[in-house]
A and B are shown apart, each in its own frame.
Chain A
């Protein structure tokens, strides 16, 4: 039987994500001060605080779709800036992907990210190279799909996703913003890493750290 990822592990992943964002609040603020309105750090920190509270409530449903929906709801009302509806839509759409109830296998996990990415693109109407979180998430999902098609293990699939996400995030330094507040700066946005692409990178960094350990906790 292929490796299964449980709701418990997804919860652990998102707790690690929340902690990583909170640790990096100042870094996100710094990036958003350069090319945005300096609120990405504080918005994400607020949302992640709410997410931590939500995830630590005992006795929640172990159904993956219900779990992802509750994550989405928390982010929609907890984040505030453009990241709220974007991350909210990502998880809301991810919640509609097929599961085995309280677990998913690796192809399903990959599909969950694909659903989230598709939702994100419909909501934000950004394409690759617009200097947004899409520049991190799209190559990461594509790398996951390629690794899954090659029957790689969870560790390999998620390492590939992290690496592609990292390259995508760094690529935003070189390009001009065409979406979001940074697009008002035109060519002046070149040379700065996109804050949304950065917060999105941590999704894959923490997934590679947490979701590759077998079994819960």
Chain B
């Protein structure tokens, strides 16, 4: 259980220079390894190549680790905040993902959505 502490990794851009836009499945793979714990890892993605690169990174993980990773449909920024909060309370992966994904329908402006 997280016990108030949440490991957050990031894997944006290409490995080489850290300046080129895009995604690198190997970079995602090492970020997963870096924050790995037996409770699992939730992956939040933005648009474009991020989803496919995250899927490819999961393909490259050993089977027993892959089963404990979850690709989230949550929005990147809002989802990350909500997920970190709920993970820090020690909630299981599926529940953390459910609240993060619910952030998709939270309007930013009063009366919107």
Chain A interface (Cβ < 8 Å from any Cβ of B): 37, 39, 43, 46, 73, 76-86, 88-89, 123-124, 181
Smallest Cβ-Cβ distance to B54: which chain A residue: A85
Q: Which residues in B have their C-beta under 8 angstroms from that of A89?
A: 52, 56
**Residues A85 and B20 in contact in the complex (CB < 8 Å), given A76-B26, A77-B14, A77-B15:** no
Q: Which residues in A have their C-beta under 8 angstroms from that of B24?
A: 76-77, 80, 84
Question: What's the nearest-Cβ distance from chain A to residue B21, in Å?
Answer: 7
Question: What's the nearest-Cβ distance from chain A to residue B45, in Å?
Answer: 12
Question: What's the nearest-Cβ distance from chain B to residue A11, in Å?
Answer: 22
B97 within 8 A of A: no
Q: Which residues in B have their C-beta under 8 angstroms from that of A37?
A: 48
**Interface pair B49/A80, CB less than 8 Å apart:** yes
Number of interface residues of B (CB under 8 A): 17
Chain B interface (Cβ < 8 Å from any Cβ of A): 14-16, 20-27, 48-49, 52-53, 55-56
**A79 CA to B21 CA, complexed, in Å:** 10
Question: What's the nearest-Cβ distance from chain B to residue A145, in Å?
Answer: 26
Smallest Cβ-Cβ distance to A84: which chain B residue: B49
**Interface pair B52/A85, CB less than 8 Å apart:** yes
**Interface pair A82/B48, CB less than 8 Å apart:** yes
Q: Which residues in A have their C-beta under 8 angstroms from that of B48?
A: 37, 81-82, 181
Q: Which residues in A have their C-beta under 8 angstroms from that of B20?
A: 46, 80
Given contacts A77-B26, A77-B27, A86-B52, 20 further A-B contacts (CB under 8 A): A39-B22, A76-B24, A76-B25, A77-B15, A77-B16, A77-B24, A78-B14, A80-B14, A80-B23, A80-B24, A81-B22, A81-B49, A82-B52, A84-B22, A85-B25, A85-B49, A85-B55, A88-B25, A88-B56, A123-B55
**A181 CA to B14 CA, complexed, in Å:** 20
**Interface pair B52/A124, CB less than 8 Å apart:** yes
Q: Which residues in B have their C-beta under 8 angstroms from that of A85?
A: 23, 25, 49, 52-53, 55-56
Smallest Cβ-Cβ distance to B25: which chain A residue: A76
A-B pairs, top 9 by smallest CB distance, nearest first, are A80-B22, A85-B52, A82-B49, A85-B56, A85-B53, A77-B24, A76-B25, A77-B26, A81-B49
**A79 CA to B24 CA, complexed, in Å:** 8
**Interface pair B53/A84, CB less than 8 Å apart:** yes
**Interface pair B21/A84, CB less than 8 Å apart:** no
Question: What's the nearest-Cβ distance from chain B to residue A197, in Å?
Answer: 17
Smallest Cβ-Cβ distance to A37: which chain B residue: B48
**A85 CA to B55 CA, complexed, in Å:** 9
Smallest Cβ-Cβ distance to A42: which chain B residue: B20
**A12 CA to B15 CA, complexed, in Å:** 27
**A86 CA to B56 CA, complexed, in Å:** 9
**Residues A76 and B49 in contact in the complex (CB < 8 Å), given A43-B22, A88-B25:** no
**A82 CA to B54 CA, complexed, in Å:** 11
**A79 CA to B15 CA, complexed, in Å:** 11
17 sample A-B contacts, Cβ–Cβ < 8 Å, listed by A number: A39-B22, A43-B22, A76-B25, A76-B56, A77-B16, A77-B25, A80-B14, A80-B49, A81-B49, A82-B52, A84-B24, A84-B25, A85-B23, A85-B55, A85-B56, A123-B52, A123-B55
